[in-house]
Structure 1
């Protein structure tokens, strides 16, 4: 059938089975243009009725080319996820679904191509997940019926195909996140177990019988494939289909059968004169591994049930016996690389099978240990029977399984056998050193990947839970190898590995400082064949112990030791040794008690060798790991890193270029530049001209790098701002990129707001200039209000406070008025006042009519903080803004609109605002914020506004509370003696700017730290004494009212006598 290009739009190509076939042929051709046009047409049709029905029709037609059928079934599979749900937009209609369902199982059974059969099985499983049992109640029963029918024929592939379908149905239902799917599976489990269990045993008997009589019979392989699929299904079914498998009699029977099969299969594949041919032997090994996975899954997912199933402890001992036997051939007997070329492939497969089986055995033991000592906790309600089973299982494991001899045997075998390096390790060490180190570092994080990684975790578990009984045997073994004359390098490496991992457990039992000076120093200097193994191990060992127990003198020795291990001129320091030392020096430098002075003598040598090593290695992951070490060194060595800064920076551009599309490397480079900038403080300025273009190219929204490096670029940008003494033109040129970043409601918002704040510290005049001020306020406006997060709201309010303070300092009241006008024009002040109005309205309502405030708590405090700064800058600007600013709508929309009909007249705005402010003051816990608000509210007295003087009682109560909190009084709380008068000024007033230093003695301040300190020093909260301030302002009000008598008669008479008495007791007036 000829193919053609699809050029016309979708409307000109109506969907039919024939046109779909043409399109699929085009999309699966080798012509790039036809692929593009065909794919585009398929995308246009995917929402059309009949599309998926026709796809299935194409797949079913076996006369068509395989590639066309494969594309059809893939399109069908992908469409199910998007359009099969009833609630999906353009969902597949009911009739099409019925047609598709009716042909699924039959088309899968008759499929000859395994790839196509697999994709069809995935399609069926996905549909079952959506539709069983509501819309497709017969899905599982019809599948089981097909299993029964196909089971009558032992020669065709039909049974294998239907078993494949059932396998993926069970997988889909057992892994579904919706509990309903798992519940449906559990309801069908007994019937499936009955059918599959019988089939499995039947096929098992058949192929075992034929093996003994005619081992090369081709039908044996078919039978074995069928039984293998059956056990794969049963393994998942029993684990997911029962909450308490140990309570089901059928499961117990099946369990006992699998136990006997483990011994049978092991014997079958282990005997020297086996009747198995290679292919059948592989299949027996696969059966064996499936059984071991079944037993391990049971132990990990049904821990108590596993122990209570018949003969489970015997099963654990059997697996351990196999692992113990395997351990005898596991480790290498020599440190030299032996020629293993031409090794028998079958022998290699046997070894891998034995290793996987041993690994599962070790994981099984570890699961038992964790079940007994670290049981999984759950919020699910547990019935008494379940609790009793759990207690019984824990007791059984502790008493009957983990006996003292058994635990000691496990520990001894693991330490002396499974932690020993293998001959394959020796070979890879020499031939692929970088790759080997990478595998060792990464596999050690996943115990399911290797015997050694699992053994390491097992050592930790046993050392932790059996410390009292294992300490002496372990330390006895350690004393045997911790001898300078013991030169069994592989054995020493294994034992040191165990002790290193258990450093925190044996910290009081081993004198690390003595061990370091008496043994380790001498060991790393030995010049004997194979001692590179010990050098690598000692580097790891020291990194494990330094964070646990090491004196400062020992740390100096360790620095010297690592300097020696990084020396390329020493022939024993091969790449493996040096890379390991370089990677693990990160832990040495990251030690909490790292002493720069003790490290200084070795700094130049170690840093130089690390940089040379980075240039030497080729794998990106290795370069990144070594860069991380240098990055930590920069952070811990602080300003002392300056002599090496040029060389470090000079090393990075080539790495950036070499990394290409590997953005993780670029992230590491940006991180190290940020740390270097922070370490160098103001001396980093010589690098800014190089760094700013990198930032500029990364933070642009349309930049390819932005998606991967934005967070690191912002961190570097902020570091440069913090460490800059002046605002250079290059640094100010980045401001234009700040506004788009503020509009991104992403994870980087906090860092962007921090950058904004740093610019306000560095160059407030620039941010208050005409071109910047209003656009900045418009960018900040959407970040406050009812839809804003409290932390973002707080950071925005902090920036507005800084702008108000800077405007007042740079231009006085006139500058404050101009900034206030911009706050109104940007919509920020209307949104702020709208939030406060909402809070006041809510606090005026109770009961069923009560309203929820748009802002509350810390957000409201932040809003009043902004108003406080505005008052201190200009009372006229504040009163005018509060009176005449139209409020934003209470819904918090960002369209800049205002409230069209405000029920409260403008002249009453100050009244409700002060009422809410005084009401909120009792929720302000920070003394500095309370004092700030006291200064602001007291300053309002100079306006003579009736709303202010009308709150004199509340204001006087605020004076009394804050002064009592912050000032020393002439009062003895024990005896009650004293006048209660104020003695001196409040405790928030600083007398020396150096009191505000935030860095430790001897450390260098960052330029921004100095700027922050100076700004805090000039803050009225810390420069103005509250007692003198209140006295002066109150005297001004009294004078403005026409004297004391008039003030008393007009305003003070309205204040409660007890409030007046409490204030008078302070002796301020």
Structure 2
């Protein structure tokens, strides 16, 4: 490609490719696709996206095509790989100027330089890092920022390489530039703090951006650049400096309000400091040992004392709690039961932990967690009123969200130090005995928080709490308080019982609990109503009708998918538990009528449809042969769930197959509609071996339910599928398929061998060749025994066919078969199969008749 003439043509086509008109856009894209493998194309693209006078959209597209080309054609072994000469020119051109004015394009250029560096640095591109180091020193703000941005992306990419040789290269790189990276970070940090003091908002924002980028570089170098970082004075010096800088930035946040342009980036930088510590602890726990004391002091002071008041924010609290949690739970810091077996590093870390977590410290952390962080906030109470379902089903990972994070930290600390903390929690419970003033909202919220703690620590408190007495004397009465302000306690108590019921709860108290749950299900407050529970069938039957009716009403009332799934799950459990003697039948009519409507409404919600499938499985099992009345709804659901040409099958297939099997197992006869669904099976057998076991069970169910109709329609397709599967399948899968063939021979001894004729030569060959897997050989002999015993005519035909294949006499090949059969009789372990083989071999003996 001649650069000068090509540039004009490529520029024109790129301009067309930015068009909104598909008639112009499509041909342009096709042309660009053809040029991807042309020599010189990427040099033209480089000239276009580095020409700042051109349209931004055209340059953006040029840089994207360049980036995609690196992925496809940069490596030497790639088809249509770029020549070494062109790559050398491109590498030089990419780092000539760091002066891209558009932020988005600058980021893309940094990323593509990093992609090239991943393949070529440092061997083919030794000048990259020195060029970047020189460029971040320049005074020009734009060039300095763009070089720093590229420096970060290159460091990030090189740090992600995992092969030993690559890690050694990155370690060498880190050692060489670490001091420079530290001084760069310190310089930009000091500059930012000076600008904050002088009140220069714009200059502060620019300095903060550079502080953030240089800190990102240091994070990668620190965490991934050293095998034993504790031996590096520079690394440990930087990590100790992190605590000082964090304090400076937190203090700085007092003067930088929400409306300030720096506020958002300041919080990001504070969080990045904590990520450095968390990542370092995760990757190098023993190198972190000198930092344990300081980390705990820092995190506990900001989260559990007045130090943090007015300056901490939610994400920072979460990060500090995660830091405490990781130190408390770290297996590297836990000595063996036999102290002599523990390493000195482990013992040192353990001793630091023990000296920090004194009784007063643990007591303060426990009290603050329960009485401060566990309290429901005004915002949560408002959400409860406005969107009760959202309140019940909300919450995300403990790593990022405050409430789950506090609960997980409480569980871990309580588990680690339960002897010290159990009396503290029991004292809190003791102080809450008796009735609570309904007008005192704070007292209600404290009780909710303490009950939450007792539920979370249920397993640790097993020996310390007489839960049965507490339930009878206080908790049961609290469930019956109907005052509107007592809603949090009603909800918390039923949750608390749910936590303890599998830990310590007498069975004779369950009827009292069921009565209380029935009353709660009539509660107008959805949050109180939506709680799972366990039950024992005999004790539960008197409450079956009202419970089922109330749960069904709740299912209709709620609107969110998660909530409907939860209620469906409880209903499914109930149907499953009480269907043994079909006690459920009188109550499921309403649910059976409602499910088709719910299925239709949940078209966009596949997880809810999975819950409906599970409910249908239990319903069919509960209704037995009467489930045929559900077929007008049931069979189309099975058809959709198991049709691999329909996108929802990705979510529904597993449950759909189970429902299909259960439907067949409970079907009194094979209907034409049930027979028609089997059209889905061929594609399912091709799809994967994951669900093969259920598919085989379904095929067997059809064979036993109505062999003649079924085999007449589907034997040919099934035989073809089996022949394909047997070419490449595990031993277990092979046996499952052969057992289906054997079942066909059982139910149809005359026609069966003809229908599956294509499979049988491989069975014959397997016996003659002495199949080495005993289970497979046993199945081969079972199949051949049935044919020999039940259809001697067909056996003669098969023998003649194999005689032609092996080019041997009939007597010779029959002799080889009998010899191998007798030799492998010991492979057959089941008495009925041994009997079958004996009878089959005896049938070959000549008789006087």
Q: TM-score, normalised by structure 2?
A: 0.91
Structure 2 gap segments, 5+ residues each: none
1:920 maps to 2:796: no
Query: Counterpart of 1:61 in 2: which secondary structure?
Result: coil
Shift of 1:704: 4.2
Q: Which residue of 1 aligns with 2:754?
A: 821
Distance in 2 of aligned mates of 1:534 and 1:15 = 78
1:173 maps to 2:158: yes
One of 757, 760, 782 as aligned partner of 1:865: 782
Query: Counterpart of 1:936 in 2: which secondary structure?
Result: helix
Shift of 1:274: 7.4
1:416 maps to 2:376: no
Query: Counterpart of 1:449 in 2: which secondary structure?
Result: coil
1:497 maps to 2:452: yes
Shift of 1:101: 1.9
Q: How does 1:504-515 map to 2 (within 5 A)?
A: 504-515=459-470
1:315 maps to 2:304: no
Shift of 1:806: 0.8
Distance in 2 of aligned mates of 1:371 and 1:548 = 27
Shift of 1:758: 0.7
Q: Which residue of 1 aligns with 2:362?
A: 407
Q: Which residue of 2 aligns with 1:295?
A: 277
Q: How does 1:269-348 map to 2 (within 5 A)?
A: 269-270=253-254, 278-309=260-291, 312-325=292-305
1:882–1:909 Cα contact (<8 Å) kept: no
Query: Counterpart of 1:703 in 2: which secondary structure?
Result: coil
Q: How does 1:38-117 map to 2 (within 5 A)?
A: 38-107=28-97, 109-117=98-106
1:216–1:277 Cα contact (<8 Å) kept: no
1:856 maps to 2:773: yes
Q: Which residue of 1 aligns with 2:833?
A: 932
Q: How does 1:588-987 map to 2 (within 5 A)?
A: 588-589=533-534, 594-638=535-579, 639-769=582-712, 771-784=713-726, 787-808=728-749, 815=750, 818-824=751-757, 826=758, 828-838=759-769, 840=770, 856-875=773-792, 877-878=794-795, 880=796, 883-886=799-802, 902=806, 904-924=808-828, 926=829, 929-944=830-845
Query: Counterpart of 1:237 in 2: which secondary structure?
Result: helix
2:777–2:827 Cα contact (<8 Å) kept: no
Distance in 2 of aligned mates of 1:21 and 1:481 = 76
Shift of 1:763: 0.9
Q: Which residue of 2 aligns with 1:545?
A: 500
1:327–1:413 Cα contact (<8 Å) kept: no
Query: Counterpart of 1:30 in 2: which secondary structure?
Result: coil
Tell which deviates more after alignment, 63-72 or 640-649. Answer: 640-649
Task: Render the CA deviation track for 1:589-644: whole Å, top value 9, x for unaligned.
Answer: 4xxxx422322333333333333333333333332333233233332232333223
2:685–2:721 Cα contact (<8 Å) kept: yes
1:355 maps to 2:290: no
Distance in 2 of aligned mates of 1:410 and 1:451 = 16
Distance in 2 of aligned mates of 1:597 and 1:687 = 28
Distance in 1 of aligned mates of 2:201 and 2:505 = 67
Distance in 1 of aligned mates of 2:699 and 2:303 = 61
Task: Render the CA deviation track for 1:388-442: whole Å, top value 9, x for unaligned.
Answer: 46324433344323333322322222122211112221222223333232223xx
Distance in 2 of aligned mates of 1:650 and 1:737 = 27
Q: Quick one: structure 1 residues 691 and 217, their matched pair in 2 at CA, closer, same or farther if it must change by over 3 Å?
A: closer
Q: Quick one: structure 1 residues 497 and 798, their matched pair in 2 at CA, closer, same or farther if it must change by over 3 Å?
A: same
Q: How does 1:1011-1050 map to 2 (within 5 A)?
A: none
Q: Which residue of 2 aligns with 1:574?
A: 525
Task: Render the CA deviation track for 1:118-172: whole Å, top value 9, x for unaligned.
Answer: 111121222222222343333333322322xxx231x612222111112222222
One of 202, 226, 240 as aligned partner of 2:210: 226
Distance in 1 of aligned mates of 2:462 and 2:153 = 50
Of structures 1 and 2, the larger Rg is shown by 1
1:784–1:831 Cα contact (<8 Å) kept: no
Tell which deviates more after alignment, 756-765 or 406-415. Answer: 406-415
Distance in 2 of aligned mates of 1:563 and 1:540 = 15
Q: Quick one: structure 1 residues 422 and 834, their matched pair in 2 at CA, closer, same or farther if it must change by over 3 Å?
A: same
Task: Render the CA deviation track for 1:837-882: whole Å, top value 9, x for unaligned.
Answer: 33x2xxxxxxxxxxxx6x523222322232233344245544x256
Q: Quick one: structure 1 residues 512 and 870, their matched pair in 2 at CA, closer, same or farther if it must change by over 3 Å?
A: farther
Shift of 1:913: 3.0
1:462 maps to 2:413: yes
2:786–2:840 Cα contact (<8 Å) kept: no
Q: Quick one: structure 1 residues 607 and 43, their matched pair in 2 at CA, closer, same or farther if it must change by over 3 Å?
A: farther
1:304–1:393 Cα contact (<8 Å) kept: no
Task: Render the CA deviation track for 1:35-83: whole Å, top value 9, x for unaligned.
Answer: 3443344344434444433333322121122122222222332333333
Shift of 1:509: 2.3
Q: Which residue of 2 aligns with 1:345?
A: none
Q: Quick one: structure 1 residues 200 and 741, their matched pair in 2 at CA, closer, same or farther if it must change by over 3 Å?
A: closer
Distance in 2 of aligned mates of 1:630 and 1:408 = 42
Distance in 1 of aligned mates of 2:287 and 2:601 = 54
Query: Counterpart of 2:305 in 1: which secondary structure?
Result: helix
One of 517, 520, 525 as aligned partner of 2:475: 520
Q: Quick one: structure 1 residues 323 and 548, their matched pair in 2 at CA, closer, same or farther if it must change by over 3 Å?
A: same
Distance in 1 of aligned mates of 2:732 and 2:625 = 30
Q: Quick one: structure 1 residues 797 and 199, their matched pair in 2 at CA, closer, same or farther if it must change by over 3 Å?
A: same
One of 424, 428, 434 as aligned partner of 1:477: 428
One of 163, 170, 175 as aligned partner of 2:148: 163
Distance in 1 of aligned mates of 2:384 and 2:348 = 44
1:126 maps to 2:115: yes
Query: Counterpart of 1:303 in 2: which secondary structure?
Result: coil
Shift of 1:448: 0.9
Distance in 1 of aligned mates of 2:192 and 2:643 = 67
Task: Render the CA deviation track for 1:779-827: whole Å, top value 9, x for unaligned.
Answer: 2222335x2212221221221121111124xxxxxx1xx4323433x2x
Distance in 1 of aligned mates of 2:610 and 2:506 = 35
Distance in 2 of aligned mates of 1:482 and 1:765 = 72
1:437 maps to 2:379: no
2:371–2:446 Cα contact (<8 Å) kept: yes
Q: Which residue of 1 aligns with 2:180?
A: 195
Query: Counterpart of 2:756 in 1: which secondary structure?
Result: helix
Shift of 1:922: 3.6
One of 5, 8, 19 as aligned partner of 2:9: 19
Distance in 2 of aligned mates of 1:740 and 1:65 = 51
Distance in 2 of aligned mates of 1:502 and 1:668 = 31
Q: Quick one: structure 1 residues 294 and 697, their matched pair in 2 at CA, closer, same or farther if it must change by over 3 Å?
A: closer
Shift of 1:941: 1.8
Task: Render the CA deviation track for 1:359-412: whole Å, top value 9, x for unaligned.
Answer: 2211111111112577699xxxxxxxx984632443334432333332232222
